[in-house]
Amino acid sequence: MRTDTGQVFHLEDYKPTDFLIPETHLDFRLHPERTIVKSTLKIERREGVALDTPLILDGDELKLESICIDGVALGDNTYVVTPDRLEIRGLPEAETFTLEITTEINPTANRQLTGLYRSSNVYCTQCEAEGFRRITYYLDRPDLLSVYTVRVEAETSAAPLLLSNGNPGEKGTLDDGRHFAIWHDPHPKPAYLFALVAGDLGVITDTFTTASGRPVNLGIYVEHGKESRALYAMDALKRSMAWDEEKFGREYDLDVFNIVAVSDFNMGAMENKGLNVFNDKYVLAEPDTATDVDYAGIEAVIAHEYFHNWTGNRITCRDWFQLCLKEGLTVYRDHEFSADMRSRAVKRIAEVKGLKAHQFPEDAGPLAHPVRPRQFREINNFYTSTVYEKGSEVVRMIRTILGAETFRKGMDLYFERHDGDAATIEDFIKVFEDASGEDLSQFALWYDQAGTPNLAITYDYDQATKTFEIEIEQSLKPTPGQPSKKPMHIPIQFGLLGTKGREIRPRATKGGLVKDDVIHLRKRKERFTFSGITERPVPSLLRGFSAPVTMTSELTRSDLAFLARNDRDEVTRWQALTQLLNSKLTSNSKRVRGGKPATIESSSIRLLGELAFNNALDEAFRALCLNVPSESDIARELGANIDPEAILGSRDALILAVAEAHGEKFEQLYNELEHHGAFNPDAAGAGRRSLRNVLLDYLSVADGNPKRASKQFKQANNMTERAAALNVLVQRFGTSTATNDALQAFEARYGNDALVMDKWFVVQAMQPGESALGKVNELMKHQLFSLDNPNRTRSLIGAFSSGNQTGFNRADGKGYQFFAETILTIDKKNAQLAARLLTAMRSWRSFEPERREHAREALASIASVAGLSTDVRDIVERTLA
Ligand code: PHE
Ligand code: ZN
């Protein structure tokens, strides 16, 4: 584990390397505890670099065995080595020379899951961002591209499968029960894209022929016996490959594309060139084990990693400050892919929900940072929803501003101009400026200014002149290191609705720039005047959620209800409904604990019913409408002085009121939606199930007993319906026998299936109220629980701390105390995981004073420990700052 040195890295300190490594040869003699890595590097001194300039390589917990230059062992006085650095002086005068370094590493002891480690006896690597330096001393930075040849050798019986990047080469058996394979990757790449996998795994294979006729062998490697669970991932992979050709003109560029699923992985998956390594959660699915959400996640992550082949691998990042260059863009691409595979509006609403649930709070709290940060202490802490999801929104805005056609021209230019480069955000913006002839310098502030802009909007209609005026004022609060902000270029897609929802086309506009259906807000305060408007319109703003902003507008409740009923843009309909419900939910949540919530207006209840029963609408959309704002949505809207118990009460009161008003029709619909045929994970099937499952919750609340959920739990022929029923049982009837029976039955059936058991831990970690902490403590002692496995840790500790509002944020602070102790334990094993989990406390300042003080104490207790990892030290100090 790297402990904190206090070092801060700055974007403006970027300097190219003095040396290049055009060729990298790696030879791995795999052994569980003593793996020998021999690295042979062709080193080239850059022109103009002084001959006495030392070569300084990165390491991390390394042990040097030997070092030679041009075949001659180096004398002790010509180099200085520590576990994290190798400095070589007295280099040959020749422009190029060969450096040979041998290190010994212990994959079994590696619990950080970066570098070379073992997961269920499979050797695998994870090198992004700085894991390669845990394998051998190297120039471990993304702008150092090299052509890799890798020889992997292992015991044949333990590791019949030997994989690395690129195309397969020579293979052979050795006489001591070992064998080897050689892999060559012709595409120069940075070290973070290196990968190696060796072990005993099952496989499914397929082929894909690219548009220009290159046959590609596809392989997905999984635990023996789970092959059939990889078929959906394979299908998603082939669809991704075809889609990238069709939508972006991008073809695959090697003879093989392999994916390996492992069960111990810190993140979702990794785009290593030609050899993606996946958290098995994003590969394995069968109707009996995976929910619709799991299927959609697999489709998205498979696509995401595949798309990185061009956005990330062929064109990589100059330095880690540019992380959003590959991540924001690739998220944008996977969002578009999923939108094309499923319902675009439903997908977009899910994205908006995710953005608001994760990125907005990040932007509003102590961990706020720009999409492209300018400084960091630990890069691992910047794989954030700001870099990924807001980064994707910024790309989407470029398309909204320039139009789809010009956007595509810019992308083509990007691929043409920067193929093989380690590029920057400036390069990315420049291709769109060149493709469009427009100046995007103001727009580029989106990469630099942290925080979520708010738009304050006022309207004025003048009957006499038939003009409608919209005035918009943007504001952006200070964020860490950024006390004042400049006005941004914000694209606001819009429409004006007349009677019956008819779209009104303005004759002309004056004031700020309006192009087609987009208002371009560029000043701090700007007015847009539309003429030829014959009746007072209801404006529909931010259609498609065209910019990641919040809005305060003077729309009345009846305007909002009108939009929810009539707008042609489903995202705006959903937003209008949410705003209507939120205003009631938040005002009720401010009431003193135990007080009786204000009555919910019957008009909102009627509206919810209308949307739920409207057969013309997509079932998935109707389900999204019925899924009223969550406890954390309401907390975010409140922003300060949060009392989670009051929020839970106010939300439950709304659900009960809606359930009582529509009970009979809900029941009828619930019964109609029952499906007897075979399970299909497509959008239509998933939509039907999501609507039915949200109805189950309403009906169970109205019934006041667990019978219906119990019945669904027992009869379900798929995990989506089974898990939803279990969720209702635990959330609504936590202590009932029916709930206990279901939990036991689930455990008996799936006890051997780690991914499914993760769901069992999650559902219990989320049980509302003060009793959750006792439950979590009890589950930590369960024989299937272990802090060594990231998925399992996230399913209990992660779900509890980031998902259970009332359980984690107990008024007595015991949830925080428990969490702080657990974080310290995890930090010693897996610092990245500990730091990520700890971000659950980033909104601590928005709680009411009592909880806030308990949270501060818990954070301070972490900060006071000596020898924290750099990862946790960085998060805890920024959170407290
Ligand atoms: N680059 C991976 C992605 O596709 C995420 C990742 C980062 C995985 C760091 C492992 C380590 O988003
Ligand atoms: Zn990515």
The span from the CA of 90 to the CA of 813, in Å, is 59
Q: Is 31 in the pocket of ligand 1 (CB under 6 A)?
A: no
The span from the CA of 399 to the CA of 101, in Å, is 47
Query: How many whole angstroms from 185 Cα to the centroid of ligand 1?
Result: 20
Residue 136 DSSP SS3: coil
Q: Is 299 in the pocket of ligand 1 (CB under 6 A)?
A: no
Name the CA dihedral angle for 342, 345, 349, 354, rounded to a multiple of 10 degrees.
40
Of 368, 402, 381, the residue nearest 476 (C-alpha): 368
Q: Is 271 in the pocket of ligand 1 (CB under 6 A)?
A: yes
Q: Is 302 in the pocket of ligand 1 (CB under 6 A)?
A: no
- Residue 830 DSSP code: -
Measured by CA distance, the residue closest to atom 4 of ligand 1 is 270
Q: How many CB atoms lie within 10 A of CB 634?
A: 25
pLDDT of 595 reads 56
Tokens representing 69? 């230059």
The span from the CA of 126 to the CA of 870, in Å, is 19
> What pLDDT, in 10s, does the model give residues 310-334?
999 999 999 999 999 999 999 999 9
| Amino acid type, 661 | A
Query: How many whole angstroms from 324 Cα to the centroid of ligand 1?
Result: 12
Q: Is 286 in the pocket of ligand 1 (CB under 6 A)?
A: no
821 in catalytic set: no
> Taking each helix axis from N to C terminus, what angle separates 644-672 and 631-638, rounded to the nearest 10 degrees?
140
Ligand nearest the Cα atom of residue 311: 2
Specify the ligand 1 atom closest to the Cα of 301.
4
The pairing of strands 256-262 and 122-126 is unpaired
Measured by CA distance, the residue closest to atom 2 of ligand 1 is 270
Query: How many whole angstroms from 278 Cα to the centroid of ligand 1?
Result: 10
Name the CA dihedral angle for 768, 774, 780, 785, rounded to a multiple of 10 degrees.
-40
**Could you say which residues of the chain have pLDDT below 70?**
591-598
The span from the CA of 557 to the CA of 576, in Å, is 9
Query: How many whole angstroms from 872 Cα to the centroid of ligand 1?
Result: 19
Of 818, 749, 770, 761, the residue nearest 793 (C-alpha): 761
Q: Is 304 in the pocket of ligand 1 (CB under 6 A)?
A: yes
Residues in the chain, overall count: 881
Which alpha helices (H) appear in 266-322, and where do they start and end? 292-307
pLDDT of 597 reads 59
Residue 660 DSSP SS3: helix
Specify the ligand 1 atom closest to the Cα of 388.
12
Ligand nearest the Cα atom of residue 333: 2
Spatial CB neighbours of 620, under 8 Å, sequence gap ≥ 6: 343, 346, 683, 686, 687, 690, 691
Spatial CB neighbours of 596, under 8 Å, sequence gap ≥ 6: none
Phi and psi for 233 in degrees, rounded to 5? -60, -40
Measured by CA distance, the residue closest to atom 7 of ligand 1 is 128
Q: Is 27 in the pocket of ligand 1 (CB under 6 A)?
A: no
Ligand nearest the Cα atom of residue 114: 1
Q: Is 389 in the pocket of ligand 1 (CB under 6 A)?
A: no
Query: How many whole angstroms from 303 Cα to the centroid of ligand 2?
Result: 10
The span from the CA of 443 to the CA of 440, in Å, is 5
The span from the CA of 192 to the CA of 549, in Å, is 34
- The DSSP-derived string for 235-254 is HHHHHHHHHHHHHH-----S
The residue written with tokens 């492992």 in the block is 262
Q: Is 305 in the pocket of ligand 1 (CB under 6 A)?
A: yes
Of the candidates 128, 286, 299, 305, the residue annotated as catalytic is: 305
pLDDT of 146 reads 99
- Which residue out of 383, 385, 830, 871 has the highest number of ligand 1 atoms within 8 Å of its CB and is therefore the one to mutate? 383
Of 200, 335, 209, 183, the residue nearest 274 (C-alpha): 183
Q: Is 267 in the pocket of ligand 1 (CB under 6 A)?
A: yes
Specify the ligand 1 atom closest to the Cα of 304.
4
| Amino acid type, 113 | L
Q: Is 128 in the pocket of ligand 1 (CB under 6 A)?
A: yes
- Which residue out of 112, 114, 128, 320 has the highest number of ligand 1 atoms within 8 Å of its CB and is therefore the one to mutate? 128
The span from the CA of 485 to the CA of 476, in Å, is 7
- The DSSP-derived string for 393-428 is HHHHHHHHHH-HHHHHHHHHHHHHHHTT-EE-HHHH
Ligand nearest the Cα atom of residue 267: 1
Specify the ligand 1 atom closest to the Cα of 114.
11
- Which residue out of 113, 271, 283, 330 has the highest number of ligand 1 atoms within 8 Å of its CB and is therefore the one to mutate? 271
Q: Is 124 in the pocket of ligand 1 (CB under 6 A)?
A: no
Measured by CA distance, the residue closest to atom 11 of ligand 1 is 128
Q: Checking phi first, is residue 233 left (phi over 0); if not, alpha (psi -120 to 50) or beta? A: alpha
Ligand nearest the Cα atom of residue 272: 1
- Residue 700 DSSP code: H
pLDDT of 593 reads 53
Q: Is 309 in the pocket of ligand 1 (CB under 6 A)?
A: no
The span from the CA of 98 to the CA of 68, in Å, is 8
Query: How many whole angstroms from 303 Cα to the centroid of ligand 1?
Result: 13
